Chain A
Amino acid sequence: MITKRIIPCLDVRNGRVVKGINFENLSDVSSPVALGKYYSDAGADELVFYDITASSDGRKLFTDILREVAQNIFIPLTVGGGINTIEDFDRVLKCGADKVSVNSGAIKNPSLIKEGALKYGDQCVVLSADIKRVGGEFRVFAKGGREDTGMEAIGWIKKCVSNGAGEVVVNSIDTDGVKGGFDIEMLKAVVEAVNVPVIASGGAGKAEDFVTLFKEIPTIDAGLAASIFHFGEVKIGDLKDLLRRNDIIVR
């Protein structure tokens, strides 16, 4: 059987991982290569690198770093942040990314997903959606969750999947940062609406939250988190042991 995936997400600014703190045996916690290798050795199933740089100098630095990561880490790498055109797909894929995550870029340019899927295949295009409840419906937000697009989220996700998005990352703004667990209600609504892998994001505060996620939604594929891994609150090996004890199949 296919295993449930655990995915750490690393935000990179000016070539350095932000939010990283101390780990044993890791001298440079803000090096994307060192931290990526640490997670890979610890049993992470995939890594997401998110480029939060605004400048073009930073972009160049990011792709240089990505190349170095890809030379040293042999698990799937997904890259997001600043993906607005098909040239951005080319840029990160050439440097060793396996999948490209689009968010605001797909909202601004509705044909971006279709173009990416036609050129590189559905499996290469990941839709990342920031979703928040507004007036009783799920709403898509843009610009890192700051701007309400007015679009209903489930319809938006279905449209992006029919355009060729091969996976969907659902980031609940309502649970993000609260550390009270994943947004089960929102994730269920998405999993029931599409037949591509869905990755839960936003809200993980402890290892048990992943158990709840996979128990409550057996068809969800992966759980993604950043700070609980970076701050060492949850170690991936321990998390996987806990999942195994709860009869959830992991690598």
Chain B
Amino acid sequence: MIAIIDYGVGNLFSLSSSLKAIGVESVITSEPDIIKKADKLILPGVGAFGDARQKLAESGLDNLIIEEVKSGKPLMGICLGMQMLFEKSYEYGKHDGLSLIKGKVVPMEGIIKKEYKIPHIGWNALKFHKDSEILKYIKEDDCVYFVHSYYAIECEDSLVASAEYDKQITACVQNGNVYGCQFHPEKSGKVGLNILKAFSEIGGNV
């Protein structure tokens, strides 16, 4: 059972539908007891970093997620949920992330050349940087669907895959049992479903 953590941001309907489509049981929840019982966690999120981070803190779920991860439970952050795994974000000010993965989140504006449109919206190809279990059913140059205006840098050896959009855009990261996807696997067709399937199989149980 995968717990999709519901802290009041974003639409979780597509994510739960995509897990259902690959035969993986999931529950959308903000209940600590259910989160503790789940085999794996997904931290979704859309919107602004500061607002989402505050909601996560107010609900007390940030500390619970950190505890569960430290106990060895696999966690996947998606989109803004992935950005929150890093140490800091510079989206409208400066915010602390969950510090589960090295790196920081910065705006594309001012870094990416002007002729590149922001947000980075659309299907882009993945380049692999190192092996990760979540890539086991997909191949290099498979395309996934991105929608974002901020991106993670200085991820060091946590960088698993990137996409090219003027700069090298961090697409997948992993640090031990913590995984992140900047793109939306639940909107990336078969490739995305295969990433979710690979995540669901980590540790051998579903």
The interface of chain A, by Cβ under 8 A from chain B, is: 1-3, 5, 40, 45, 67, 70-72, 74-76, 93-96, 98, 120-123, 166-167, 195-197, 219, 221-222, 251
List B residues at the A interface (Cβ < 8 Å): 11, 13-14, 17-18, 20-21, 46-48, 114-115, 117-125, 143, 145-149, 164-165, 186-190, 192-193
Q: Which single member of B117, B124, B165, B186 contacts A74 (CB below 8 Å)?
A: B186
Whole-angstrom CA separation of A221 from B30 in the bound complex:
38
What chain B residues lie within 8 Å of A2 (beta carbons)? 120, 122-124, 146, 165
Identify the 3 closest CB pairs spanning chains A and B, nearest first. A251-B143, A71-B17, A251-B123
Residues of A within 8 A of B186 (CB): 74
A74-B21, A251-B143 given; A40·B189 CB < 8 A: yes
* B11 adjacent to A197 (CB under 8 Å): no
Instruction: Return A134 CB to nearest CB of chain B, in Å.
Output: 29
> In the complex, what residues of B have CB within 8 A of residue A96's CB?
11, 13-14, 17
* Smallest CB separation, B62 vs chain A (Å): 22
Residues in A whose Cβ lies below 8 Å from that of B114: 195
Q: Is chain B's binding surface mostly helix, strand, loop or mixed?
A: mixed
Query: Known contacts A74-B18, A74-B193, A96-B17; is A123 also within 8 Å of B121 by CB?
Result: yes
- Nearest-neighbour CB distance to chain B for A241, whole angstroms, equals 16
17 extra interface residue pairs, beta carbon distance < 8 Å, beyond A2-B122, A167-B121? A2-B165, A3-B124, A45-B123, A67-B13, A71-B21, A74-B186, A74-B188, A74-B189, A74-B192, A75-B188, A96-B13, A98-B14, A123-B147, A123-B149, A166-B121, A221-B121, A251-B123
A75 touches B189 (CB 8 A): yes
A67 vs B145: C-alpha distance in the bound complex, in angstroms? Answer: 20
Given the interface contacts A74-B21, A74-B192, does A94 sit within 8 Å of B187 by beta carbon?
A: no
Q: How far is the CA of A5 from the CA of B192 in the complex (A)?
A: 17
CB distance from A86 to the nearest CB of B (A): 15
The CA-CA distance from A96 to B184 in the complex, in Å, is: 14
A249 to B114 CA separation, bound complex (whole angstroms): 20
Give chain A residues whose Cβ lies under 8 Å from the Cβ of B115.
Answer: 219
- Minimum CB–CB distance from B187 to chain A (whole Å) comes to 5
User: How far does the Cβ of A125 sit from chain B's closest Cβ, in whole Å?
Assistant: 12
